Chains A and B, each alone.
Chain A
Amino acid sequence: MDKKTEIAKRDDQNIEKTRELYEVAPAVDIYENEDEILLYADMPGVVKDELSVNIDNGRLSLSGVRKLETSGAASWEEFGNVEFVRNFSVPQTIDVEKVEAELKNGVLTLHMPKSEEAKPRQIEIKTA
């Protein structure tokens, strides 16, 4: 290999690689009551192994990779393989140990219980 080809080779390696997967934000519903924060996210086509839910330092990150089996030539394609990514700020009072996640029919359900100290407390008034 002469020097010029070597230089050309190195240039090729420097070309910025595009991401294989396009990132999209899943649609979510968020509800809250006194005990927990409840989140639903639409992630059609994501399997359990390709989904990750992280809560760290008041930050909730969801990431799910969709890999669809396809065969044949595409006549039309309106959706493809994507990575569903979305980040939220969550209160520090979430009891991370007790968070429950469930994936069913392409919908992620996330129960985030509030820790005991964060719950509102009913104070009983005593009459003297």
Chain B
Amino acid sequence: MFTRFSDIDRLFGTMDLLRQRLDNLYTDYGRPYGTRWLMDEGFLRANLYQTGDGFEMRLEVPGMEKESLDIKIQGNYLEISGSRDQKLPEGYKVHKTERGNGTFSRSFTLPDDVDGNRVEATLKNGVLYLTLPKSEAAKPRQITIN
């Protein structure tokens, strides 16, 4: 009996392993080769996290200066646009160009309204970090019963 239980455990272990592999496979789905910056499609990869009283967003913006990024917020509508224009070195022979230049624009509808005055944006190592606190009106309020 005991051995049979451990067999089941092992079976589930193997299934977990397979599931993880498949998860990894799908994170790369639709990309031509490895991770390719999606600049050519005018689209940058973004992550959104919900913290209790706001949102945090991360965007991949390799090789972009803060001057070339533009962030707009209105209510729960967030728009991030920018451009990458890297000078091609002169007098060089080109072997490979995969990185691409150009402009991008992406807009998001956040689950809640954001207080535009308290939004913070930091650019670090080619990743844009946004802290978006919810506006007071969007926060849940405790109602006291008289």
B is bound to A = yes
Q: Contact residues of A with B, CB < 8 Å?
A: 4-5, 8, 11-12, 15-16, 18, 22, 24-33, 38, 40, 42-47, 68, 70-80, 82, 84, 86, 103, 105-107
Chain B residues with a Cβ closer than 8 Å to the other chain, count: 53
Known contacts A18-B21, A25-B34, A42-B99; A105/B93 CB under 8 A: no
Give B contacts to A, CB under 8 Å. 2-3, 6, 9-10, 13-14, 17, 20-21, 24, 27-28, 33-37, 45-52, 55-56, 58, 60-65, 86, 88-89, 91-100, 111, 123, 125-127
A43 with B21: CB separation less than 8 A? no
Q: How far is the CA of A32 from the CA of B14 in the complex (A)?
A: 48
Q: Which of B20, B61, B94, B96 gathers most chain A CB within 10 Å?
A: B96
Besides A5-B2, A43-B126, A105-B126, 13 other A-B contacts (C-beta < 8 A): A18-B20, A25-B34, A26-B34, A27-B34, A28-B98, A28-B99, A33-B89, A40-B63, A44-B127, A71-B56, A75-B111, A105-B61, A105-B125
Across-interface contacts of B61 in A (CB, < 8 A)? 44, 105-106
Assuming the A-B contacts A25-B34, A31-B95, A71-B49, are A45 and B27 also in contact, with contact meaning beta carbons closer than 8 angstroms in the complex? no
Given known contacts A30-B95, A32-B93, A106-B62, is B50 in contact with A72 (CB within 8 Å)?
yes
Q: Are B126 and A106 in contact, with the CB atoms below 8 A? A: yes
Q: Give the residue name and chain of the A residue nearest to B17 (CB).
A: A18
| A107-B96 contact in complex given A18-B20, A72-B51, A76-B47, C-beta closer than 8 Å | no
For A74, list chain B residues within 8 Å (CB): 47-50
Chain B residues contacting A42 (CB-CB under 8 Å) are: 37, 62-63, 99, 126
